[in-house]
Structure 1
Amino acid sequence: MSPQQKALVLTQKQGNFELSSRSIPSPGAGQLLVKIQSAALNPVDWKIKDTGILGLVTHYPAVLGSDIAGIVEEVGEGVENFRKGDRVLAHGKYTNDLAAFQQYTLTVASFTAKIPSSESFDSAATVAVALDAAVVGLYGNEMGAGLTPPWTESAGDHESKKPIVILGGSSSVGSYTIQLARLSGFYPIITTASPSNEELVREYGATHFFDRNLSGKQLKAAISKVTDRPIRIVYDSISLPETQLVAWELLANNGTLVLTLPASVKEDEGKGRKAIHTFGYPHVPQNEELYRSSWAMVEKWLSEGTIQPNKYEVLPNGLEGIIEGLERLKLGQVSGVKLVAHPQETQ
């Protein structure tokens, strides 16, 4: 193996992407070296480039990307459940040696899973980041609604016959939230999306669909015909100011609004509601325990079809194709699919 690899690097904060060469790292204890076959794009990637948000990236030039699927090339000390040649998916980290937009990366074994034979590298690459955002949003105690994870006890449907509303059900995060809501036993599972994506969200497990263009009042009226139970959980996977207002209008007293962006709503009516900005990232101490348990389930979920990966579109030109792909995400030109790049096809 050549000690060098191709990588797409962000040259400086709010700078430009360039194709570059960097060393292939060696795995430390608890890590794997993975040859990346497919890397998926996420909105956070263009937001980091444009704004340097969240302080996630502190050193430049920086390699971005965190949705990884590939082949194990080398196994670090203490790793017992993976071996060279395994097909795996993983949630990367905002550190150059553990990021996705390159040909080889390190992954943390605890947040890596084997890909079942039923899934391709491309489909597997759509899973990690969005599924993790759904997991912590629903089940995280500090950065989520604090529900009991359905995989931690044998006692079936924890949220049986309780309604949930998921705004943006055809988004990556929304689609996995629908599927986890089904796993938790929520009913009805109500979601919004474009009419063209109605069939897609129903495939994921939504029981009731409404047009995303309905106002808060219109949506509330429509939902009242579906259930008379209070809506105590709303997951807004879009989390723009206008969708947060819609969500806030639906949310019952003492309910929880889960957001993927910072809250622009606040409780001023004494209803005891809370808005939580979730952070679907396993590499922080407060999320590690939850994610160790959920990642232990990923291969089984995919194998059994409990969790279906997103639909995807493959970008041309290897790593260079990511640049245009992120621009399309920024301009809102992607709907119902995840964009995936093939680093090994880089010229």
Structure 2
Amino acid sequence: MRALRDGYASRPAHRVERVSHLAEVVLRAGLRLPCPGLALRASYLSKILFDRAAASVDLAEARVVLGFPGACLALFRAHPGARRVFHAVDAHPRAHNRELLRHFSRRRSWDERYPARLVRRIEKELRLADVVLTPSAIVSAQMARYGVDRAKIVEIPYGVSLEGFTPEGPAVERHLERPRLVCAAHVSRRKGIPQLLDAVRGLPVDLVLAGGVFDRRILRGAPSNVIVAGPLSADELAREFRAADAFVLPTLEDACSLVVAEAAASGLPVITTDANGASALLGALPGTVLPAGDVEALKEALGRVPLLDRTTRRAVAEAARSAATSITDWSAYAERVLDVVLAEEGAPCGRDRAGEATRRTRS
């Protein structure tokens, strides 16, 4: 939705319909549930309700229908003659579940795993899709591994709005004598927060957790050098970045975490994992990519973070905006997506920054 909002904002809508009040009610009610697992399942139900309502809208002349995971099965079935585009904003559900079970028990990972019924639903959507749009090589590989026809997979890295994410400007107050780390992510197992809390325990650093708390149980017994900032606006996050010495995101499964690019544009070296699709955005930027779930490697990397001087901060920020990286903006992303979804079957999939064909994955 962020891509549609930011990338297509300049394009006037031909028609806009509010299709399901009930789906929104279910989603908002689910957010109030005390059990994280039940709240997540309410969001899955809201997707099904939205899908059914969207499928009932008269779109007889539609050339393209675009849907999101778990929310487009009825829509795709209702429009067999249109070009059906599955926007894979998340990992393949089986890959998502596999990674959670690799690092946590079935009981501890239940709240965040996809239910079997939702897995089957998404796989049906993938079979019906003519195009599977992915944001990273990691997601493309997952799709192919779990049976998606490679000829349908089109990989276009997300755009990133770097406006406001600069090393210059106001910053929050901080302890000046030891490194300050920032992690901008939901406090959840999928984002590797339990491993991060273990890694910073006993280190002479401060860690700021910026993001919503999906499961408060994860924070029980958190070390004293952890600051839980909660959800932050873009401006507030930019101020946190300017006060930090490094950004860390030890995710266990992440399709493409755009905050990596925002942190780099703010001048921060990035520490993330090989399970983060956005790690490919780093290119030659200062940063460290670690094996997902390796607490000892994470602890060692965090313990080596130095205090960041202004010269280095500016150099990292400039490199993040240079043409040598994979970072693009939402407008360019939208144009590349439109090239793909409006292409005739068998035509080139689109253009990259230099005007060449957008890469399809191949065997």
Structure with the higher helix share, 1 or 2: 2
Which structure is larger by alpha-carbon Rg, 1 or 2?
2
Structure with the higher strand share, 1 or 2: 1
